[in-house]
Amino acid sequence: MRGHIFHYEDLYDFTKRIMLRLDALPDDAHLIADNLVTSNLRGIDSHGVGQLKLYVSGVQSGFIVPRAHPEIIKENSSLAKVDANNGFGQVSGAFSMKLAIKKAIESGIGVVTTSHSNHYGFAAYYAMMALEQDLLGITMTNSPPLLLPTFGKNAMLGSNPIAMAVPCGQDQSWVLDMATSVVPLSKIDLFSRRNEQLPNGWATDENGATTNDPLQVVRNLPGHDIKGGIHPLGGEGELYGGHKGYGLSMMVDILSGILSSANYGPDVSFFSNGQFQFANIGHFFMAIDPSFFMAIDEFTGRLDDLIARLHNSEKALSQTRIYVHGEKEAEEYKRRVKEGVPLDEATVANLKQYSRDFGVDLKLE
Amino acid sequence: MRGHIFHYEDLYDFTKRIMLRLDALPDDAHLIADNLVTSNLRGIDSHGVGQLKLYVSGVQSGFIVPRAHPEIIKENSSLAKVDANNGFGQVSGAFSMKLAIKKAIESGIGVVTTSHSNHYGFAAYYAMMALEQDLLGITMTNSPPLLLPTFGKNAMLGSNPIAMAVPCGQDQSWVLDMATSVVPLSKIDLFSRRNEQLPNGWATDENGATTNDPLQVVRNLPGHDIKGGIHPLGGEGELYGGHKGYGLSMMVDILSGILSSANYGPDVSFFSNGQFQFANIGHFFMAIDPSFFMAIDEFTGRLDDLIARLHNSEKALSQTRIYVHGEKEAEEYKRRVKEGVPLDEATVANLKQYSRDFGVDLKLE
């Protein structure tokens, strides 16, 4: 079985039908499919339809509750605390971000924390929801442990990503979406699927030594007894700022996990002692209205100017282009809408399995 | 002339008197001295009294206005826009953070942006002001260009630090204070003063090649025609996540510079074409009240638990201790309050010069 190129609408349709078979409500199935396929369209295959398996196994084991809906526990004009009731991460993610946006429109800023959630997929999706209203959007989430604290032997924090979307006048906006580890686990997975060795300085094994074997990292991380892990952004020790990546991961866990009443640190896990459990993942959402500070055209014009100056500044040796964040992804989005979404062999095999298991056609052109 | 150990109260007193001679108001002179000496006490000598020269030259050249006071341009229950009127950075920094804290007490969250400011010294100082009210404090500032965008040859963004302080039950709080470059310029300065070579992968020269010569970096950066620079956190290229450090630096400039109406990117500078100018630095301040989300004791207890688990987790090879952010600094603070603040030869020479120039005694025990 080989990789294959899919039309994005077929992938969306397939994913939505699988979610409906898993008892998701139609609007929720749409959200999940849209979140995953948008990630594939932007070239972030690590957070695309390959993540379906997390949701299938979560629902089948009873630890994602498909029709659970998020509830507002407490709110004021700018803040809200949301409980996701163990539903799909995309459902509470979109609900919570909409709430932050509504508050930002009314009061200039909205901050929402969300507990008892699950994997919410492609983080920038929520940050980018703010763009439709000319707002700045930020989201963070904690995630299962994989990150080594500086001078530590075993993973204690998640890849804990930070995503931010900022409106600007160009056809693509400025969109950052980054794990606070050197690389996310999905990148290690990718090396494993391709049978490639990891570069030095990404990850350690169960003895604390650098490892180049992606399978060893993947094998050591899930479940209760986590060994080794991935270095924080900045790498091992303090020489290149590894303590900063560790600090950013903590910042994300404080805002997403601790402040929301979710699990935090090593407790953020779909597994405990080899058993599934409610992951109780925590998220953080923020929207800010730049038009409080200046006319929106002035704001986007200032950002456009900075971006143009970055684009036009002198290139490093043997480099031809300076990118800004979200630019590669916006170009890939346009390309893949036209030319299709290529998926690797392992992902296609997984989708074919679900096609048989759930009796949902997978359209292979 | 050699380095020397000072009693912190003498350093405070000296700094305050110098600022009074520069026509600062007594409360403002106190703030500046307290900010700088607190940095020295916490062991962050890069942002201590050695920065006095920035303020002396700024005032003497007329581009820091010593009695200028910050003004609120616009505010609502959670947001404010402040104009620092080209006064001391510490004055608008403390003013703006107090305003964010007041709003957080009243509405749960306060966000303040500040334009037309100057170097505000030790960033965590403002974030830590929130701790007195059991709030989370965050501040960011843009700064003169030194950071290479990924694939770029010349510095286009600042070290653009992020500082965050979070209350917890232990005697020290959790305090992050990090440049988004691999290292701040002050660290390059330190290597230069000690006549040491830079590690590979920190900085590039005017030809875009890695340089180990700190003097070359320091010489290339100030002024209009900036050449080479310091890599973003994550290093050169994308293999170890350098694009993430570049993204964080952009995030800080968007929130601090673009959103505040300050200068941004390469325009953040005390110099242009070899002339002093108003730097028009921009800051961002945020305070969040965790007691909106849960009882404060529950919040601090959760953070204490995460910290304890980090402390107790297994150590990497040949390591004996896992730190959390702010812990080393809190211990250094206690030590230096008792044992004094050691300053290096160049800084002592600088203080002695000011002692003569301004007729202010420098107490050498």
pLDDT in tens, B109-152: 999 999 999 999 999 999 999 999 999 999 999 999 999 999 99
> pLDDT per residue over A21-32, tens digit each?
999 999 999 999
Residue B335 within any structural domain of the chain:
yes
Would the pLDDT of A63 be above 50?
yes
Q: Between chains, do A254 and B166 touch, taking CB under 8 Å as contact?
A: yes
Q: Nearest CA of chain A to the CA of B222: how many Å?
A: 17
> pLDDT per residue over B71-117, tens digit each?
999 999 999 999 999 999 999 999 999 999 999 999 999 999 999 99
Q: What is the pTM of this model?
A: 0.97
d(CA B294, CA B287): 16
Q: Which residues of A touch B107 (CB under 8 A)?
A: 76-79
Out of B74, B76, B152, closest to residue A313 by CB: B152
CATH no. for residue A14?
3.30.1370.60
How many structural domains compose chain B? 1
> pLDDT per residue over B174-229, tens digit each?
999 999 999 999 889 888 888 899 999 999 999 999 999 999 998 888 766 789 99
Give the model's pLDDT for residue B171: 64
Q: Between chains, do B208 and A317 touch, taking CB under 8 Å as contact?
A: yes
Residue A269 within any structural domain of the chain:
yes
Q: Between chains, do A265 and B108 touch, taking CB under 8 Å as contact?
A: no
Nearest CA in chain A to B296: A259
Residue B41 within any structural domain of the chain:
yes
Give the model's pLDDT for residue B199: 96
Q: Which residues of B touch A266 (CB under 8 A)?
A: 309
Q: How many A×B Cβ pairs under 8 Å?
A: 236
Q: Between chains, do B77 and A74 touch, taking CB under 8 Å as contact?
A: no
Q: Between chains, do B313 and A164 touch, taking CB under 8 Å as contact?
A: no
Give the model's pLDDT for residue B1: 47
Residue A311 within any structural domain of the chain:
no
Residues 6 or more apart from B299 whose CB is under 8 A from it? A258, A259, B167, B290, B291, B293
Q: Between chains, do A182 and B240 touch, taking CB under 8 Å as contact?
A: yes
A68 within 8 A of A28, measured Cβ to Cβ = no
Q: Which residues of A touch B78 (CB under 8 A)?
A: 77-78, 107-109
Q: Nearest CA of chain A to the CA of B124: how many Å?
A: 14
Q: Which among B250, B264, B305, B321 is the top mutation candidate for probing chain A, defined by the most A β-carbons within 10 Å of its own β-carbon?
A: B250
Residues 6 or more apart from A214 whose CB is under 8 A from it? A188, A189, A191, A192, A196, A197, A198, A203
Would the pLDDT of A51 be above 50?
yes
- Segment (H or E) for B178: strand B174-178
Residues A361-364: contacts with CB within 8 Å, 24+ apart? A361/A14, A362/A10, A362/A14, A363/A6, A363/A7, A363/A10, A363/A13, A363/A14, A364/A4, A364/A6
Q: Between chains, do A233 and B243 touch, taking CB under 8 Å as contact?
A: no
Mapping DSSP to helix (H, G, I), strand (E, B) and coil, where does residue A195 land? coil
Residue B322 within any structural domain of the chain:
no
Residue B68 within any structural domain of the chain:
yes
Q: How confident is the model at residue B170 (pLDDT cuts 50, 70, 90)?
A: low
Over pLDDT 90: what percentage of chain A? Answer: 87
Q: Which domain holds residue B237?
A: 4-294+329-358
Q: Between chains, do A151 and B315 touch, taking CB under 8 Å as contact?
A: yes
d(CA A279, CA A84): 11
Task: State the pairing for strand pair B79-83/A109-117.
Answer: unpaired
Say which residue, A344 or B80, is predicted with more confidence.
B80
A214 within 8 A of A205, measured Cβ to Cβ = no
> pLDDT per residue over B24-76, tens digit each?
999 999 999 999 999 999 999 989 999 999 999 999 989 999 999 999 999 99
Q: How confident is the model at residue A1 (pLDDT cuts 50, 70, 90)?
A: very low
Q: Between chains, do A309 and B244 touch, taking CB under 8 Å as contact?
A: no
Would the pLDDT of A239 be above 70?
yes
Q: Which residues of A touch B254 (CB under 8 A)?
A: 136, 164, 166, 174, 303
B187 within 8 A of B46, measured Cβ to Cβ = yes
Predicted-complex ipTM score: 0.97
d(CA A242, CA B7): 33
Residue B313 within any structural domain of the chain:
no
Q: Between chains, do B310 and A150 touch, taking CB under 8 Å as contact?
A: no
Would the pLDDT of B362 be above 60?
yes
Out of A113, A156, A303, closest to residue B310 by CB: A156
Segment A303-315 shows an average pLDDT of 97
Which residue carries 């630096």 as its tokens? B249
Q: Between chains, do A293 and B261 touch, taking CB under 8 Å as contact?
A: yes
Would the pLDDT of A252 be above 60?
yes
- What are the angstrom distances between the C-alpha of B224 and each of B209, B219, B265, B279? 21, 12, 13, 13
Residue A348 within any structural domain of the chain:
yes
Query: What is the token pair recorded at B217?
Result: 């970096």
Give the model's pLDDT for residue A170: 67
d(CA A112, CA B186): 37
Give the model's pLDDT for residue B365: 64
Give the model's pLDDT for residue A226: 84
Nearest CA in chain A to B319: A151
A260 within 8 A of A279, measured Cβ to Cβ = no
Q: How confident is the model at residue B348 (pLDDT cuts 50, 70, 90)?
A: very high
The alpha carbon of B315 is separated from its chain's Cα centroid by a whole number of angstroms, namely 30
Would the pLDDT of B18 be above 80?
yes
